[in-house]
Structure formats: C-alpha cells, structure tokens
Amino acid sequence: MEKELTKIIFFIISLLVTSGCFGYLNYSILEKFDAISYSSNFSDEKKLVILFFSGLNFFLYLWINTYFGTSQKGIVITIGIVLLFDILGTVIIICPLISLGKFTLNLIRSGLLGKSKIDTRSTRDFVFNSDKYQRVYIFDFDNKLIAAGWLDYQQASSNNYFDISLMPLDEPETDIDFQLITEYASETESRVLVDFEKQVKLYIIRES
C-alpha cells in the first residue's frame, strides 16, 4: 500500500513539474530581472521558454531523485532542491548566461553584420525605465493636454492595461502649452511615446 501511495505521489509531482509550474517560476524570475520579456504579441515565444524550463526542471528532478529514491522523504527533498535551484540558479547562473548571450549576439550583429542591436524590452518599458526623475506630459492627437505630472508609477508592459500614476507639477496645467513642451523636449534628454491605439502622445522629460 505504501509503495502504491509513493508511486501516486511521484506521478503527481512529475505532473506538477511538467505542467509548467516550475517553468513559469523560472520565467517570472528572469522577467523581473529584465533578462527576458515578451508582450502579449509574443505569447508563443513565452510558452516555448516556459516549456523549455519545465523540461529542464523535469530532467533535473529525475536526476536528483535517483540519489534520494522515490520515498515520500526522498520526493520532498528532491522537490526542495529543484525549487532552490529554480530560485538561486536562475539568478546566479541563468541570468548572467542570458546577458552574456545577448552581449555576444549584439556584438556580432553590430560589429560583423552591421545590423542594429536587439532588445527584448517593450517600447513602454524601454521609455519609462530610468533612475532619473521624469516629467510626463500627455497630449491627444489634436495636441490638447490630457494630464501632466511627475512619473510616480507605471505598470509593466506584461499587463495589457496601460495606466500610470503621476504626481502633480508645481505649475498649473492651464499654463502648459504643447509648442513650448516640444521645444523644451528637443533641448533636453527626453522621449516621446506614441500610442496609436489610445491616440495619445506622452512626452517624457528626464531630469538629472
């Protein structure tokens, strides 16, 4: 009876590993470190990455389990080691390897092939991710001001819903002129994010 129970537990754990739970953990950690990032338009690529890590975790689980056996204690120890590897190994080993791979690939593209560098970040993350203070002016396509303020928080591009939190500026919004903002933006370190779907233009001006 105990052997049968052990086999059932082993089967359930195997299903858990291969179902993508552990693979998704790898992906989630890598995404938090900006090692990889796929928007909703690249869902197939995201699934492949998760499937790859799920398979890697499954083979790692089988390999480690050969040393601890299929007893309940052995299964718990094995799953704990795999979980520890997913957390520490992803940060210490996999992240640097991906960064090195990107660096090497971009070096080949720019140095040997004369092509532009690749960047897996979304446009939104590329524009907003900065350690500097950022003023944001949001206009519609008719150049009418919608909102303005200091950037407080913006959701990652993995969330399809786009909203941002702004802190009010010292100047009243009625004094903000589109022409003056565009002229000032051209003289400073700034970015312009154009959202054709929502028909807005975001002028992001970075302060030192």
Local confidence pLDDT in tens for the 208 residues of the chain: 556 666 666 667 665 665 567 888 888 888 888 777 766 556 677 788 888 888 888 888 888 888 887 677 777 788 888 888 888 989 999 989 888 888 888 788 777 766 766 666 677 777 777 778 889 999 999 999 999 989 888 776 655 567 788 888 888 877 888 988 888 888 788 888 888 888 999 999 888 6
Written as six digits, the tokens of 197 are 């779907």
The three-state secondary structure class of 165 is strand
The answer for residues whose C-beta is within 8 angstroms of residue 109's C-beta and 6 or more apart is 115, 116, 117, 118
What pLDDT does residue 111 have?
73
Query: Cα-Cα-Cα-Cα dihedral of 87, 89, 94, 96, to 10°?
Result: 100
CA angle centred on 202, ends 41 and 170, rounded to 5°:
145
d(CA 150, CA 116): 32
**pTM > 0.95:** no
